[in-house]
């Protein structure tokens, strides 16, 4: 069930109506059943997989808490990590590593026929794997007390608004909201409505319309594009993936708000970032903070020499790229962001531009660096990425397709960017709540109008479901 489908909203209406009639413990049971039903609608065969991951991490955390030696605690934590990463590695990376190994052996002159299995990728496995891992690691570190209730913990793992595409919630934030009765506040409905409307606009109006153009350009026959068209395709994909993923996160937060549960903010106007450090504080915040806390800092962070810091940055971004997909183009995307982070750290304040115009130049310049990296993220192969990159620098021609794409970018994405600049100036995502009701009503009417009048030619699945 997609958030932008009638089936989901019928499902949610039934869940919400039942939820309101039940006490706290009954609410948790109802939400857990609804979450497993929601996940089973994608593919019921993977329900035992999420149950296995849940059970292993639950009992491992209890084992860590009751162990009287550090060695036994370490054993329990390693067990949970091996099972979680083992399942993730098999279902997501088995074919990738087998094909890469076969290609390497062939290049070395050996006959290689590894016969890779066609393994179906379970939706959301990367998200709930990282969520369960953070729980057992936090228990091992003594930062979280494990819950004794399996139902509460299972709900923390499988909570349906954020199950298949995040945000990746920490147990310190979400688990207390499942173990304790929810407290309703007067602003839950209005805040949830705002988040849902913005999320649907981002996904349906901006993401899917930009995706229709980007998919057409990236799917064009070799040699049929101009550099301008390739550039437009990259810009369209940049706003497609932003609208798609930020839209999902916003809808998830809004739906959850109606259930009295707060989810973390996953995006904060990322394309207004002026440098890579700021970008990763604004884009997919739940993943970037996870990689920082459970990979970068344990590797040593920036506590050692500059060489070790650069090594830690590169390893973190390379693994972050691989998390997104089992392909070398994703690794290249991570490597590019790692190099950008290393370059920014090496430069320090030497290239910081002062004043308002300096901030504008830095924002525009860094946006283009991000788009350059998106090319490798979206391209089907290195060959396609290099071809499109070459076209951009040697074959510029304003065609009707390029003009159409640029016009659609301005029409669908321009108002959003103006709105985000307005939000960013106040350093808050909730600035609209402080203005007069007339302006808020106008904004809501615009969002609804665009949803009704400008639906995409083709409704697409959420991109991050494949991760």
Instruction: Determine contact, residues 207/244, Cβ cutoff 8 Å.
Output: yes
Residues 226-267 have pLDDT tens digits of: 989 999 999 999 999 999 999 999 999 999 999 999 999 999
Residues 267-278 have pLDDT tens digits of: 999 999 999 999
- Mapped onto helix, strand or coil, the DSSP state of residue 66 is helix
Asked whether the predicted pLDDT for residue 102 surpasses 90, the reply is: no
Instruction: Determine contact, residues 31/160, Cβ cutoff 8 Å.
Output: yes
Find where tokens 């062939």 sit.
Answer: 106
- Interacting residues of 338 by C-beta distance below 8 A, sequence separation 6+: 313, 314, 316, 317, 318
pLDDT of amino acid 333 = 95
Task: Return the CA Rg of the chain.
Answer: 23
What average pLDDT does the segment 95-124 reach? Answer: 65
154: nearest Cα among 28, 256, 290, 24: 28
Asked whether the predicted pLDDT for residue 86 surpasses 80, the reply is: yes
Whole-structure pTM value: 0.92
Residue tagged active-site, from 284, 324, 395, 427 = 324
197: nearest Cα among 8, 17, 4, 13: 4
Asked whether the predicted pLDDT for residue 459 surpasses 70, the reply is: yes
Asked if 427 is an active-site residue, the reply is no
The C-alpha atoms of residue 282 and residue 288 are separated, in whole angstroms, by: 9
pLDDT of amino acid 177 = 93
Find where tokens 């115009």 sit.
Answer: 357
Residues 241-252 have pLDDT tens digits of: 999 999 999 999
The C-alpha atoms of residue 234 and residue 241 are separated, in whole angstroms, by: 11
Domain ranges of the chain: 6-114+123-179, 188-466
């Amino acid at each position: 069930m997609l958030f932008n489908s009638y089936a989901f909203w019928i499902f949610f209406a039934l869940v919400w109506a039942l939820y309101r009639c039940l006490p706290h413990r009954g609410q948790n049971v109802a939400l857990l059943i609804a979450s497993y039903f929601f996940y089973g609608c994608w593919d019921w065969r993977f329900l035992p997989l999420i149950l296995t991951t849940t059970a292993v991490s639950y009992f491992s955390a209890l084992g860590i808490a009751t162990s009287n030696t550090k060695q036994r605690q370490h054993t329990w934590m390693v067990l949970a990590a091996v099972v979680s990463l083992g399942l993730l590695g098999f279902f997501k990376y088995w074919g990738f590593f087998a094909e890469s190994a076969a290609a390497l052996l062939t290049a070395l002159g050996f006959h290689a026929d590894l016969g890779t299995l066609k393994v179906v990728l379970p939706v959301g496995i990367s998200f709930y794997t990282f969520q369960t891992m953070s729980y057992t690691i936090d228990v091992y570190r003594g930062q979280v007390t494990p819950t004794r209730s399996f139902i509460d913990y299972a709900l923390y793992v499988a909570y349906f608004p954020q199950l298949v595409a995040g945000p990746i919630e920490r147990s310190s934030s979400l688990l207390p909201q499942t173990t304790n009765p929810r407290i309703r506040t007067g602003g839950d409905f209005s805040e949830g409505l705002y988040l849902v409307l913005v999320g649907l606009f981002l996904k349906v109006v901006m993401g899917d319309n930009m995706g229709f153009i980007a998919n057409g350009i990236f799917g064009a026959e070799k040699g049929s594009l101009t550099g301008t068209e390739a550039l437009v395709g990259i810009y369209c994909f940049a706003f497609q993936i932003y609208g798609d993923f930020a839209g999902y996160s916003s809808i998830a937060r809004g739906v959850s708000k109606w259930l009295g549960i707060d989810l973390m903010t996953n995006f904060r106007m990322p394309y207004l970032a002026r440098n890579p450090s700021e970008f990763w504080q604004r884009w997919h915040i739940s993943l970037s903070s996870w990689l920082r806390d459970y990979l970068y800092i344990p590797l040593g962070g920036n506590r050692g020499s500059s060489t070790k810091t650069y090594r830690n940055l590169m390893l973190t971004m390379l693994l972050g790229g691989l998390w997104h997909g089992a392909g070398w183009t994703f690794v290249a995307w991570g490597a590019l962001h790692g190099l950008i982070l290393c370059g920014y750290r090496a430069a320090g304040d030497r290239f910081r531009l002062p004043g308002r115009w300096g901030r504008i130049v830095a924002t525009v310049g860094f946006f283009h660096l991000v788009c350059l990296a998106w090319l490798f993220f979206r391209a089907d192969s290195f060959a396609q990425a290099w071809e499109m990159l070459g076209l951009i620098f040697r074959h510029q021609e304003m065609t009707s397709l390029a003009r159409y794409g640029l016009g659609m970018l301005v029409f669908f994405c321009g108002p959003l960017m103006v709105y985000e600049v307005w939000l960013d100036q106040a350093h808050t995502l909730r600035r609209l709540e402080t203005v007069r009701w007339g302006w808020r009503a106008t904004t809501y009417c615009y969002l609804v109008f665009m949803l009704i009048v400008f639906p995409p030619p083709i409704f697409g699945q959420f991109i991050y479901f494949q991760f």
